[in-house]
Amino acid sequence: MRVLHTISGIWKHTGGPAETVPQLCSALVQKGIDVILTTLDGPLSDAAIECKKNSVDLRTYSHHWKFSLKITEAIKEITKNVDIIHGHGLWLPTNWVTGFYARKHNKPFVITTRGALNPNALSHSPWKKKIAGYLFDNRNLHSADCIHVTSLGEYEAIRSYGLKNPMAIIPNGIDIKKFMFLPPGTALIDRYKTLDGKKILLFLSRISWEKGLPLLAEAWANVSPDFRDWHLLIGGRGPQKYENEIKRLFKEKGLSERVTWAGLLLGEEKMSALALAELFVLPTHSENFGIAIAEALSAGVPVITTKEAPWPDLIEHKCGWWIPIDVDCLTNVLREALMLSDAEREEMGENGKSLIQGKYTWDRVTAQMISVYDWIIQGGTPPECIKID
């Protein structure tokens, strides 16, 4: 089977899909699938660089403001010679071109929406998305043979959007082996002396509107005076204007001495941050999966996140807290989590590792994805992960 995957960008600073899409492609190749991955050029994520080593045919194309005649021509030609096309994301020219040529060449077509149709995501720049939907995306969505989502919540959001397509509910995967032997956190401590001798509450994600940092600032201001042995480490980057606003907010709340801004943490530095962390927090407003949550659990770190992330597993498997978006609730849960003994947090961490190993490995995920591809191409009984109602 030959599959074309397309995505606008898999760059270092762009968050989850920049890791999970190349990892999915790598895992498919390991299962014997011939994969071409097309994207716009830029500073590639670690997963993108690694997927090239794993025999994924990664092709990058120059662009101007995310528009590229070169990738348009490439997708036009590649679609003629593949068995199935799998596009990731919405609202951008690469997504529009992918759907257009899938229809033109009458090729089976899968769309992974990557959370783009979740209500909170739709509320951000709504008129731009309505125009893009009217002109391009809605036609692609309605014509797709299958829409892939990573959670039940995302499935429900897409049904609310009015789409009736078959949907595959398949989570993102995690390479648990990468988290088995974490490096020591000494490199980060040497770089940031404020971390030395502290227990670390870690936020590790993009610095953007949906990640809930204003909520965290207020809750941390409420809690931190009573827990002087704890320190908040924030890893991530975002638009400079927004970063400056958020840093100013933390400063205004008197938290300059209680928070360290580490910037973008990749590779060994990211693993060191996870090794240092006693707790992970992500008070998100919109998450179709939350790869940062899965990585924290893989590293044995209990997680605090909101019900806008699809992680009821945190409660069911006793490895974290799954709470409403509310300052008082986050404050109370932070206080509860920080008061636990080290042994209690370690037990929760082990529960998180077991959850990932049992449910979110790439071997399990790719087997489901291949079953979807086979079903779309050959017909027959839908796989268990498919919902048609």
Tokens of 248: 């100013």
Return the exposure string of 234-251: e unless at least 16 CB atoms fall within 10 Å of the residue's CB, then b.
Answer: bbbbbeeeebeebbebbe
Q: How far apart are CA 215 and CA 246, in angstroms?
A: 11
pLDDT at 305: 98
Q: Identity (one letter) of the amino acid at 374? A: D
Alpha-carbon distance 250 to 7, whole Å?
A: 35
pLDDT tens for 67-124 read: 899 999 999 999 999 999 999 999 999 999 999 999 999 999 999 998 889 888 898 8
Query: Which one, of 105, 111, 282, 311, lies nearest residue 201 by Cα?
Result: 282
| CA–CA dist 309, 116 (Å, integer) | 14
Give the whole-angstrom CA distance, residue 261 versus residue 246. Answer: 11
Measured CA to CA in angstroms, residue 89 lies from 18, 99, 183, 209 at distances of 11, 11, 33, 19
Q: What is the DSSP string of 129-142?
A: HHHHIIIIIHHHHH
Mean pLDDT of the region 338-363: 96
> How wide is the angle at C-alpha 300 spanned by C-alphas 299 and 303, nearest 5°?
100
**Structural domains in the chain, sorted by start:** 2-173+361-387 (3.40.50.2000), 176-359 (3.40.50.2000)
Q: For residues 376 and 385, what is the distance between their CA atoms, to the nearest angstrom?
A: 13
* pLDDT computed for residue 220 by the predictor: 98
Mean pLDDT, rounded, for 22-40: 96
Q: Is 45 left (phi over 0), alpha (psi -120 to 50) or beta?
A: beta
What is the C-alpha to C-alpha distance for residues 91 and 194, in angstroms, rounded to an integer?
Answer: 41
At residue 232, the 3 state secondary structure works out as strand
Tokens, residue 329: 């609730």
Tens digits of per-residue pLDDT, 361-378? 999 999 999 999 999 999
Could you tell me which residues are beta bridge partners of residue 321? 304
Instruction: Give the per-residue pLDDT at 329.
Output: 97
**pLDDT given for residue 317 in this prediction:** 97
Distance from C-alpha of 389 to C-alpha of 64, rounded to nearest angstrom: 41
